[in-house]
Structure 1
Amino acid sequence: MTEQGEWRCEFVPDEAYVLGGLSPLGRAEVDRIVRGILDLAELRLEAGNDYDEQNPRRLRSISTDKVIVWYQKFDYRKRIYISQVTWFG
């Protein structure tokens, strides 16, 4: 679990399932993205594609040239749940 201020990030169902088999370089890139999402959450800003004010719990994605991270944000729990990572590196 990664923490940033009051916000926490968890992997669903668990870290081994979501990041299993990912290279150290891939894990470092995911960690960088997660920390950025947490920083923005602390500032009450939205990150990633697919954000919809009408359905804020919808699965969102944020990507770089080598990875896509799929997540959900729950403001009232102060949690980010990472459910899938796709690595292209």
Structure 2
Amino acid sequence: MPKTMLIDATHPEETRVAVVDGNRLVEFDYESKVRKQLKSSIFLAKVTRVEPSLQAAFVNFGGNRHGFLPFSEIHPDYFRIPIADREALLAAQ
């Protein structure tokens, strides 16, 4: 089935976009003028906890803002572990 993109811009303060494959909704996104969009933004954050069972890290953006970062969203070049840390991890196993 061909994918179709549906765009609803009837309201000037909000735009909605949906991608459908036949009768199945594949993707949905919206943008609002009254609400700041955080999706697809780049932030500087500190990793506060790594949770291997969830394949993710919990991060702190500063102040009282926290987030969840799946490993699949991290580029492989950022997985370089310093040699001393790598040796400590291997020794602990």
TM-score by length of 1: 0.28
The answer to which structure, 1 or 2, has the higher relative contact order (CA under 8 A, 6+ apart) is: 1
Higher helix share: 1
Q: Give the number of the structure whose residues are more often strand, by fraction.
A: 2
Larger radius of gyration: 2
TM-score when scaled to structure 2? Answer: 0.27
